Structures are given as C-alpha cells and as structure tokens.
Amino acid sequence: MNGISLSILRFILRWLVCSLGLWIATGLLGSDKISYGSKLSTVVIAGFILAIVNIIVKPIVVLLSLPAILFSLGLFMILVNGLMIFLASKLYSPLHVTNFLAAILAGMIIGLVNYLVTTIIEER
C-alpha cells in the first residue's frame, strides 16, 4: 500500500471509531446527556465531523495547552477530548451535548473505545 491509501484507511478507521464511540457514549450516558437523533446516518456524520475536528483542531489545541498537559501529567487531555466533542456538537447541530461534563465523559468513552479497537487491530 502506498502512503496515500494508508492515510485514507487510517482516516476511515478513525471515523468508524468516532462513530462507534458516540453510539456507545449515548447508550451509556443516556440520550438526555448526548444525543444524535434516531438515524444511523446521523451518528455516522457526527463521527465524520468529530474525526475531522480531531485531525485539524486537536493538534493545535494540544500544542497550545502543552504546559497544562505536562503540568497535569497528561490529565488535561481529558478536557481537550471533551472540548473536541463539544466543538463537534456545535459544528453539527443534530449532535447534541447538554453540557461540558457530558462532553468530557463522552470523550473518555470514545478514548476507551479507540484504545480497545487499536489494541485489537494491532494484535492481528
């Protein structure tokens, strides 16, 4: 595989993991905290928006907040992940997050899903 097709494959995987994570977060937190409607296409589009936000905005935010991340020994990344969820909900109105705490919890769930999927894929 060349570099471009590998990058596209990684993006698609990130997109699917974000969509799966949003779906699981809604199930665990309840639709009163985070919701995307009842259609599967809405959660897939929300996952796409979140994947784009994580690719474009998150590296800039991480770079700007590097002192806080280092000072907190990485725990500030939980807030950064929550901020990315909250930003994605503002960019895509069918994805509704009630407050920042719900976004932080959803970010933690999506991070856990990402870790599990990555672990399963790397073992193969």
pLDDT above 80: residue 38: no
pTM of the model: 0.90
Confidence of residue 54 (pLDDT cuts 50, 70, 90): very high
pLDDT above 80: residue 2: no
Nearest by Cα to 113 from 23, 4, 5: 23
Q: What is the pLDDT of residues 64-102, one digit of tens each?
A: 999 999 999 999 999 999 999 999 999 999 999 999 999
What is the predicted pLDDT for the residue at 1? 65
Asked if 58 and 80 touch (Cβ cutoff 8 Å), the reply is yes
Give the residue-averaged pLDDT of 35-56: 91
Q: Where are the domains of the chain?
A: 3-123
